[in-house]
Amino acid sequence: IRTRDPQIVVSALRDLGGTATQAQMKPRIEAVLPPGEWSAWWKETKENLKNDPRLDLSEAYQQLFKLASEEKSREVSLPELSPRAGEAGLGLIRRFLREHPEQESRLASHAAKVIARWAEDPKLDTTVRAQALHHAVSWNALPSDAARDVLDTLIVEGLSPGDLTLSQQQDALIDLAKGARQEETFLWRAIESRLPRLRESGRSRLRALLGPAFGKAVSNQLQRAAESPALAARLIEHYASNPGEEGAPPPPALLMSTLRLLERDGAGVPGVSERLLELLGPEGALRRLVLERPLDPETAESLERTVLHWRGSERRLQPVLEFLRSAGHTQVAEAHEARRSATAQTLLEGKSIEDLETRHTIMSRPTYERLEAEFKKLKLDLKTVIPAAIEKARQLGDLRENAEYEAAKQRQANAAARAQELMNLLDRTRLLETIEVDATRVGVGTEVRLEPVDSPGAPALEYWILGEGDHALGPGILSYRAPILKPLLGKPEGAQAVLEVPEGARAYRIASIRKRLPGEAA
């Protein structure tokens, strides 16, 4: 067992009559393995099976294993492909070629018609059709014009070169796009890929296709950044690091496109805002570029207008303000801070409670940092731990009856939903510590004592009013959004209000108000 000897598999096959699937062998072999070692054992042992003459692995791509027959003259059997198989059929082809790459010419003759049918089938997923199209082109199953028409259709439906996982497939379809009606669109999508090789290929091909108009086309893409935020972010990243390249937009255009995308939080595209903020960070290429080349008066005016009328999240704006200070535009940052303080004061005085409830969420820094840490851990888990668990479960066999796989996928869905919830919350957050608290009025960041007006002997009430999620910071804490506080918000000491308490509606007088933030003594 420890040496991964194929004899274990040979014995299992003999017990099962000479032919068995992986799922059928698993219970017999797993019974003699240490607990939890099946996946690793099978993965390593399977490699040792390939050179064992006692085994027939001609159908191992279908998870079917046999004992070798006496005569060794058998030919590898080709997979049976139903015209309706689609994605499952492509998976079968992929596994077959992984096990028997030398059989591709036989497979091409055998499967050419069905693979062409999959490429042209509008009922199949776009990426599945693109994979089928790659095989159809490689195996000459479709004439060039017909293949190009299929590719045009897929591009209109949203296909990007990066949707294909293998570089061979990506390059083949980029080559096929030459002369297609949607060629330019396809090449722009190559530029927005996460793969540097694809981005460079897209830029090179677009320069050749557009000639002198390439620089103008790049500027147009930046002006329409909200329509294709991922593409605009890739263009900004590239030209911030390569400002001297032919066709590079001027630094002011890069900066203003960056701010407009950040104001829209990357138009909701994951990862865009984070990459743009990195460009403005201490080591960011765009920050260095702006510091080297001072902004002209027109750009500086546009910059001030954008920041003072910022409609995006505070979470995205704070790094922008820090960038402005470092770039010598302190007056813009200070003007925004003054405007924000005035707005916050209006909200906290109860003059616009509805706006306070819908547009912003106030919380203390300790709560924000706790939620941010949870968000970062979820993002890391979604990239590492959870995919590893899914892959481990996938190796256990048939996914239709695989409880571990279903559990891992459910964990992935739950983590993704919670991460999205946290991201939305954090993006709307204003830190309590950055707000100028008015200690003369009831509001967030104050502790208030209430005395009953018409109920002698009724106990006084004390509330410490903090932000959303701050209840874990100590006893007696209420969120500023608590319904019981609505009649009190914005009122000064001595004022009266009717509150809904468990005993019913009761009038209270505000006996005292004092400013109190987390960490301050009671």
Q: Is the pLDDT of residue 142 over 90?
A: yes
Dist CA 331 CA 304 (whole Å): 9
pLDDT digit string, tens, across residues 13-47:
888 888 999 889 998 888 888 888 888 888 888 88
CATH entry, 436-515, from 3.20.20.10, 3.60.10.10, 3.10.50.30, 3.40.50.720: 3.10.50.30
Averaged pLDDT for residues 340-353 = 54
- Tokens 């702006």 correspond to 290
CA nearest neighbour of 192 among 203, 182, 181, 180? 203
Q: Is the pLDDT of residue 352 over 50?
A: no
Please report, as a single letter, which amino acid is at residue 378: L
pLDDT digit string, tens, across residues 1-11:
677 788 888 88
Averaged pLDDT for residues 350-365 = 61
- At the top level of CATH, the class of 363-433 is mainly alpha
Query: Which segments of 31-121 does DSSP mark as H helices, in order?
Result: 38-49, 87-99, 104-120
Dist CA 455 CA 483 (whole Å): 22
Q: Is the pLDDT of residue 455 over 80?
A: no
Under the banding of pLDDT at 50, 70 and 90, the label for residue 72 is: very low
CA nearest neighbour of 236 among 174, 187, 284? 284
Under the banding of pLDDT at 50, 70 and 90, the label for residue 217 is: very high
Q: Is the pLDDT of residue 234 over 90?
A: yes
Dist CA 27 CA 47 (whole Å): 20
Q: What is the pTM of this model?
A: 0.60
Q: What is the pLDDT of residue 126?
A: 93
Dist CA 205 CA 173 (whole Å): 13
Q: Is the pLDDT of residue 354 over 50?
A: no
Rg (alpha carbons) of the chain, rounded to whole number? 32
Write down the domain spans for the chain: 7-67, 87-329, 363-433, 436-515
Q: What is the pLDDT of residue 227?
A: 85
Under the banding of pLDDT at 50, 70 and 90, the label for residue 356 is: very low
pLDDT digit string, tens, across residues 484-502:
888 999 899 999 999 988 8
Q: What is the pLDDT of residue 359?
A: 58
Dist CA 141 CA 175 (whole Å): 17
What percentage of the chain has pLDDT greater than the value 90? 37
Distance of CA 33 to the CA centre of its chain: 39
Averaged pLDDT for residues 199-223 = 94
Q: Is the pLDDT of residue 355 over 50?
A: no
> How would you classify residue 268: left for phi > 0, otherwise alpha for psi between -120 and 50, otherwise beta?
left
